[in-house]
Amino acid sequence: MISDFIWIEFVEQSENSLCFSCSLPDPNLYTEEEMIICGSIVLRKEIDSPCETLDITLFQNFMSLCIGDTYQRHDFVQTIVFVLENKFGIFITNAYIKLLDSWGEFYGKLADLDRINRGVEE
């Protein structure tokens, strides 16, 4: 699965948010790029509220980096949450998820995200 190869880098912090980039390995062996940025991740804390929103936007190049691997929305978001917890010590327990990918937009809790296998396979 493509979520096994995700790499997340911290970009910046503001008063109410943390921003990260999401990268995947370059499948083209003939280029010098090792990882290609394919999305952005923003964790927003709502002012005067315990609610958080994890905003994940996958760029148009995302699907071209998935050639030969399966993309499962739920597992991909769950991997992002896992990496944020283990690499950055950011625990996301009750956040709303806003996911924008090539299949559309999802807004809700992680448990509500569909588990339909969607991918590109060669």
* DSSP string across 13-54: E-SSEEEEEEEEE-S-TTSS-SEEEEEEEEEEEPTTSS-EEE
Domain count, the chain: 1
**Is residue 3 within 8 Å of residue 113, measured between CB atoms?**
no
Secondary structure of residue 62 in the 3-state scheme? helix
CB atoms under 10 Å from CB of 37, counted, come to 16
DSSP state at residue 99: E
**Does the pTM exceed 0.75?**
yes
Domain boundaries, position 98: 2-119
Q: What is the pLDDT of residue 122?
A: 33
DSSP state at residue 68: T
For residue 30, pLDDT over 60 is answered with: yes
Residue 69 is encoded by which pair of tokens?
């691997």
Q: What is the pLDDT of residues 32-53, one digit of tens each?
A: 778 999 999 999 987 777 789 9
Distance between the two ends of the chain, CA-based, in angstroms? Answer: 14
- Name which of 25-34, 46-55, 59-68, 98-107 the model is least confident about: 25-34
DSSP state at residue 81: H
Q: What is the pLDDT of residue 2?
A: 76
